[in-house]
Structure 1
Amino acid sequence: MIIRTIREEDAQNFLEMSKILDSETQFLLFEPGERETTLKDQRESIKKTLEQENSTILVAETKGSLAGYIAGRGGNARRNRHMVHIVIAILQKHTGKGLGKKLFEALEEWAQEKGIHRLELTLMATNTNAFRLYEKMGFSVEGKKSHVYMIEGEYVDEYMMSKLIK
């Protein structure tokens, strides 16, 4: 398993992985078939992310295919450039093998190199496996928002978590 910074030429594989993730889990924003991102859009998004000093996407690659990713998007004003919002997703067949921990460790190393001080993320309150991982990685709950998502006719709350580094 290799963890590396995404490249523009990963756009097709990244988009395909994202669509698979949409169908594998209810813990991400989009439902199956809802993602309207084109290959051109994906390539532009990757390019824009890589151009920002305080943003990145790290991918986990195994045997030439993508297994998951962690994205950090930094604030774009002077007052919040020290903060990065995180999204992480791993293909189902690669979960439970320590990949999430490795992705977080790689992102935190990148964040320290960039002078990032605050990492933050949100998650559905029903995502207990992710919650345990985030706590293990040093994140703590800052708050809860009620009825943020509608999953199979039921409202789902959202936790906001953060970790201060450096």
Structure 2
Amino acid sequence: MTYELYNTLMSHFIPGKIIKEFTTKSGKHAIIRYPKWEDLDAMLEHINTVSKENTFITFSGEQETLESESKYLASEFESIEEGNACKLFCFVEEKFAGVCDVHRVLMNKKRSLHVGTLGLVISKEFRGDGIGAILMQTTIDEAIQQIKGLRLIQLSCFAANTPALNLYRKLGFAEVGRIPQKLLHKGEYIDEVWMTKTVASG
């Protein structure tokens, strides 16, 4: 999608719209807002840095290019505009700190349109500062408003990622199942944990 087409599609979605401002545990000013096209470089640096870290995410060292990331961002804008996604960024003192999103499940046609899949990634520099919980809850609240008919949010997690599992439970997610040894992480096969949360819908 070209930049011009992107501009014509944005009739409801306001790129860069601030949803929340808060102070982190360490006393830093933070904002949560929708993405905008100018975030592309920060997004690219974020995902490539986290990928190199080889932490508990799908990426394990692979590096995105400016071209691939621009196509991804354009696709995300389109999904948001169509009411099938909600994606929020967190910036701490103007530094990209994390991203959280909810995407409507479209693969089963009408069977799962009421279900959204949540993803959360926080930069290593900002973990443990209370950002994840606030960003995740804010994204859920916004998704309920923007993704019409949303009733259930699901997520998956590495079983070894204890901090993430504790956060998800704190925010009301319950484990509903595991796929044994599904994920390979640093030479070890780890269970994939699936969790869900029922939400109110607009």
| TM-score, L = length of structure 2 | 0.76
Secondary structure of the residue aligned to 1:27 is: coil
Determine if the alignment matches structure 1 residue 40 to structure 2 residue 74.
Answer: no
Q: Which of 33, 37, 43 is matched with 1:14 structurally?
A: 43
Q: List 4+ stretches of structure 1 deviating above 4 A.
A: none
Deviations, residues 62-102 of structure 1 (Å, cap 9, x unaligned): 22221001011112233322211011010111111111111
Give the letter for the 1:35 counterpart. Answer: Q
* 1:17-50 per-position Cα deviation (integer Å, ceiling 9, x unaligned): 1111112342011112x13452432332332332
| Cross-structure match for 1:26 | 55
Does the aligned pair in 2 maintain the 1:15–1:39 contact within 8 Å? yes
C-alpha RMSD over aligned residues: 1.6
Aligned equivalent of 2:79, options 49, 74, 93: 49
Identity, % of aligned positions: 27
Q: CA shift at 1:59, angstroms? A: 0.4
Distance 1:20 1:74 in 2: 27
C-alpha distance in 2, partners of 1:142/1:23?
31
Matches within 5 A, 1:1-166: 1-32=30-61, 34-37=62-65, 38-76=68-106, 77-114=109-146, 115=148, 116-166=150-200
Deviation at 1:128, TM superposition (A): 0.3
1:8/1:46 contact within 8 Å kept: no
Query: Would you say the 8 A contact 2:53–2:60 is kept in 1?
Result: no
Which has the higher Rg, Structure 1 or Structure 2? Answer: 2
Contact 1:71 / 1:86 at 8 angstroms: preserved in 2?
A: yes
Give the Å deviation of 1:151.
1.7
Contact 1:22/1:30 (CA < 8 Å) preserved in 2? yes
Q: Distance in 1 between matches of 2:47 and 2:166?
A: 23
* Contact map agreement 1:55 1:73 (CA 8 A) in 2: yes
